């Protein structure tokens, strides 16, 4: 491409034509002029672009000026380039998942199997005999159940063994966890609790009804007093 040539153009200032060098931004269309400074043509072709670049312009190589950029468009282009560079650098920092290695047979190696859940420990004969002996000591009979202060939980804590084992031995060989008297008392308590709730609702309804009756009675009493006052 041949060297770019900068020709003078006439610009009117205060009504008079003044020779200037002029650039027009190839992006936004804004323009700026530069005084001729008595440049000769050879000097103008080298000094004019330098003077415009000192003002922040980017002087292109095309003779038609399509790639000239004003300072504002230069700043916007640089900012856009910085944003693109930041995005690229951020993407480069993202760790890439490593591919699963392929075995020589052509298939991916099998994943290690998850460890199987540990099977609960079973009761030994000695532990069974120990529980049995303790229950014979603290369990009265099927009707009375445990003696005072004892339960499956306390036997389990006392022997240092799972409560479920105590419950199994007691249920299979001795009787229920609570006595018949306790079960009967608990059933009666549930019935009494339900009756108390119903009684409470009835009392609340009666209280509300009584308040309404008293209110109406007060209104009637005031009316009667006004009538009596009027007929005296």
3-state SS record for the chain: CCCCCCCCEEEEECCEEEEEEEEECCCCCCEEEEECCCCCHHHHHHHHHHHHHHCCCECCCCCCCCCCECHHHHHHHHHHHHHHHHHHHHHHHCCCCCCCCCCCCCCCCCCCCCCCCCCCCCCCHHHHHHHHHHHHHHEEECCCEECCCCCHHHHHHHHCCCHHHHHHHHHHHCCCCCCHHHHHHHHHHHHHHHHHHHHHHHHHHHHHHHHHHHHHHHHHHHHHHHHHHHHC
> Alpha-carbon distance 24 to 9, whole Å?
12
**pLDDT tens-digit map of 36-78:** 666 666 677 788 888 889 989 998 888 777 889 899 999 998 8
**What is the rounded radius of gyration, in angstroms, for the C-alpha atoms of the chain?**
52
140 pLDDT above the threshold of 70: yes
pLDDT at site 5 = 74
pTM, 2 dp: 0.35
**Scanning the structure block, which residue is given the tokens 């000097």?**
43
Cβ-based neighbour number of residue 174 at 10 Å:
17
Contacts of residue 1, defined as CB under 8 A and 6 or more positions apart, other chains included, come to 61
pLDDT at site 92 = 59
172 pLDDT above the threshold of 80: yes
pLDDT at site 189 = 78
182 pLDDT above the threshold of 80: no
Length of the chain: 232
pLDDT at site 230 = 83
**pLDDT tens-digit map of 82-115:** 888 776 666 655 565 566 665 555 555 666 666 6
């Amino acid at each position: 491409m041949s060297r770019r040539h900068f020709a003078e153009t006439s610009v009117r200032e205060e009504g008079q034509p003044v020779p200037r060098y002029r650039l027009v931004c190839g992006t936004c269309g804004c323009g700026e002029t530069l005084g001729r400074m008595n440049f000769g043509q050879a000097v103008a072709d080298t000094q004019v672009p330098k003077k415009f670049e000192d003002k922040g312009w980017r002087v292109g190589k095309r003779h038609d000026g399509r790639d000239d950029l004003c300072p504002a468009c230069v700043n916007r282009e640089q900012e856009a380039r910085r944003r693109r560079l930041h995005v690229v650098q951020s993407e480069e920092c993202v760790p890439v998942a490593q591919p699963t290695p392929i075995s020589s047979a052509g298939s991916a190696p099998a994943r290690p199997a998850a460890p199987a859940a540990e099977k609960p420990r079973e009761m030994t004969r000695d532990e069974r005999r120990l529980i049995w002996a303790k229950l014979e000591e603290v369990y009265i009979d099927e009707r009375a159940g445990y003696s005072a202060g004892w339960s499956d939980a306390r036997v389990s804590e006392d022997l240092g063994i799972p409560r479920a084992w105590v419950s199994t031995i007691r249920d299979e060989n001795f009787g229920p966890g609570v006595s018949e008297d306790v079960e009967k008392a608990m059933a009666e308590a549930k019935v009494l609790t339900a009756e108390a709730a119903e009684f409470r609702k009835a009392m609340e309804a009666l209280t509300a009804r009584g308040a309404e009756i008293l209110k109406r009675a007060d209104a009637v009493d005031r009316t009667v007093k006004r009538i009596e006052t009027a007929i005296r």
